[in-house]
Structure 1
């Protein structure tokens, strides 16, 4: 593993593109990465940009994807821009990029894949985490064998999150470094990824309904008298029914329990990266506070942690880390 070596000049543009994507779309994430050392940031930005690209392909219209990611122009010309085809193409291109790097001639099809392939090699990240992630994203694509737009139980949702969230936590772990064998830190890293994603699902109920999806377990909702039709009614009325409010409170409690299980794992990371990860954990958990403060008004506005609070949390974590040394 060459981890920590600066990217070659030819890769600088690729990493810069990834940084711009992270800065534009991941406010909490990007702020947390600023607490990392300069040598860690490019790799973490690359992983974010890769995940963002795949997510955009799954969630956005074909023309929008073409504009965001002109790398796929040749696919557009052939009329093969459906999401499942693009996911297959991305996997193929990433495999080619990895093979080319091993042969000493990295020739990927796009800037993001260029940076990701280099990151995988420099930090010795297991490529299976990327294939697991792409498999999970196929669950979001209508017409594929794995497609789901509802999840009957928390176990079903956890199956999805094992690829879409836990795998990302496992991708990042070799970059951050650990003070124990990496296998010992993996359960907590996976749990933290799942905690972040469940927070997103609770915050983005309305957005997901716009796409005909519900990323909340049906059996947990049903225990409070909530079904898909009631969620749609709340969406249309932009008001949270009391039954939905109680269900969200219950799921927030489950989400906080996941954070409680995950956060002790931060102490298994290298000391210098802990402030960044603690910042991300505190800020993401704060989104749950914002949902509660709004009386669970997830259908009328998006819960956001104010900038001044994000900066204060980051400063607090940085100061605490400095004083501990």
Structure 2
């Protein structure tokens, strides 16, 4: 696969599976956009490898998934060491990693968490879940920092807010996707929290949430909002042309929490979605700032010509 085709494959993965996030990426300068798509495409591709589907399993079960993940990890190592990049997403991902000096430790942390999904389907405490999210979501946030760029000298300071935003996004997804995850054999609501609120796994399989489950979801949504709050200061550390994208993503994902609350925290009756009109309004609100920032980047300061 050519590099251009690989970037296009990653873009399609983002457009098809991460609609809110894809909408936010349209606020980035085009040259940054494809690299963000490469990160998303790689993450989605790996996630698809480890996804559990006991109803239609054509991957050879857990052993087959582990072998596929081993093969991808080995191929990625070859690509990052300067060898050929094979497969639909690796050419774009490896090119982005090399172009921006993305830390291999962050990539390895992500792959470790994805491997965890092959064996671990329940988490006893929120602290245990945070360890998982450190690799699966926080690591993606860290990979994003070099691509988005920061104001001079803020690279390290921007890393912790990026971690927090990754955690916020993923916890939001966990709350939205309780039914979907259960169908794959996974539960991301910590067992200790479930016990504290009197929620059992049988409660997660119903057509509507019980009062106890609604209270639990509201509690976990509060945790997600804490992560969002801790991430917010990091936006100003980013390059101006990247801020509208992240602000829009912040509002779009935060809007999912708003929709969950508006439904009385019943996450079983239907999948929470930000209405199309509201998504469009968020995009439009940040489009002017994105356009102005791109124009400013194109200007060459006097004395630098």
Q: TM-score, normalised by structure 2?
A: 0.90
User: In structure 2, what is the Cα distance between the partners aligned to 1:215 and 1:199?
Assistant: 11
Q: 2:258 aligns with which of 285, 289, 292?
A: 289
Residue 300 (structure 1) shift: 2.3
Q: 2:286 aligns with which of 317, 320, 325?
A: 317
Residue 181 (structure 1) shift: 3.0
Residue of structure 1 equivalent to 2:45: 53
Residue of structure 1 equivalent to 2:238: 269
Residue of structure 1 equivalent to 2:201: 228
Residue of structure 1 equivalent to 2:275: 306
User: In structure 1, what is the Cα distance between the partners aligned to 2:259 and 2:214?
Assistant: 14
Gaps of 5+ in 2: 297-305
* CA pair 150-296 structure 1, distance change in 2 beyond 3 A: same
Residue of structure 2 equivalent to 1:239: 208
Task: Note the aligned Cα RMSD (angstroms).
Answer: 2.3
Tell whether 2:143 aligns with 1:171. yes
Residue 322 (structure 1) shift: 5.8
Residue 81 (structure 1) shift: 7.2
Q: 1:161 aligns with which of 110, 122, 133?
A: 133
Q: 1:256 aligns with which of 215, 222, 225?
A: 225
User: In structure 2, what is the Cα distance between the partners aligned to 1:284 and 1:80?
Assistant: 31
* CA pair 61-238 structure 1, distance change in 2 beyond 3 A: closer
Q: Which is worse superposed, 221-230 or 303-312?
A: 221-230
Tell whether 2:164 aligns with 1:182. no
Q: 1:214 aligns with which of 153, 172, 187?
A: 187
Gaps of 5+ in 1: 1-8, 67-75, 101-105, 142-146
Residue of structure 1 equivalent to 2:66: 84
Count of matched residue positions in the alignment of Structure 1 and Structure 2: 293
Residue 128 (structure 1) shift: 1.4
1:255-298 Cα shifts (integer Å, max 9, x gaps): 11110011111111001110000100110010011111122221
Q: Which is worse superposed, 264-273 or 209-218?
A: 209-218
1:125-180 Cα shifts (integer Å, max 9, x gaps): 00111111011011111xxxxx2111111100000000000000001110000113
Residue of structure 2 equivalent to 1:71: none
User: In structure 2, what is the Cα distance between the partners aligned to 1:302 and 1:62?
Assistant: 21
